[in-house]
Amino acid sequence: MSNNKGIHKIIELLPWSDFQDVHLKKDPGLFPIYISREYDIPFEIVSACTNIKKKSKESINENGTLIKLPTLKNRIISLKDPRRLFFLLPLIKYIWKNRKNKVRYILFHATDNTLTLVFFIKLFSPASKIWLKLDASCKNLEAVCNLIKKRNTFKQKLVSNRY
């Protein structure tokens, strides 16, 4: 990230059903903290949580905030299940609200939920940059790339062509 001028913030999106404090001491918490410190850019960790009734916001440090957004009780991860979008809806709305800001997004793991969020990030803000943090071997990464290339629906082809 050599040109940081005009970047408003770093946003990490976590499409998990339950964010726990221990995540702040692992990659999901530490990665945005280190990048924020290195480049002096504020960050937000935004998680969809099934165990809360209303939005919560708490400070992590002088540059960062943890935002928990309430979502459905059931986490739905199958790409073929349209109810999955209802689980992701709070994160999609958050992406929409930040579409005019110059944002760098951080996502973890190449899952269907992550690919869906990438689709909406690029749909609402095509110039946004996305960092996808993987814990994968070359074999796993090749499988993900092949999966993206084999997409059959219009939406899936749009996601594939954006990479």
Mean pLDDT score, 43-65? 84
What's residue 161's pLDDT?
47
Residue found under tokens 């760098």: 104
Residues with Cβ within 8 Å of 24's Cβ and at least 6 positions away in sequence, in order, are: 30, 45, 60, 66
Strands 9-14 and 103-108: parallel
pTM: 0.75
Please tell me the distance from the alpha carbon of residue 110 to that of residue 97, in angstroms, as a whole number. 24
Domains of the chain as residue ranges with CATH: 9-136 (3.40.220)
pLDDT band at 96 (very low <50, low <70, confident <90, very high): very high
Is 129 in contact with 104 (CB distance < 8 Å)? yes
Residue found under tokens 């969020």: 117
What's residue 44's pLDDT?
92
Q: What is the edge-to-edge ordering of all strands in the sheet holding 9-14?
A: 56-59, 64-70, 43-49, 9-14, 103-108, 129-133
> Which DSSP symbol is given to 73?
S
The region of weakest confidence among 10-24, 56-70, 74-88, 117-131 is: 74-88
Task: For residue range 107-145, list pLDDT tens digits in order.
Answer: 988 777 888 899 899 999 998 899 888 777 777 778 777
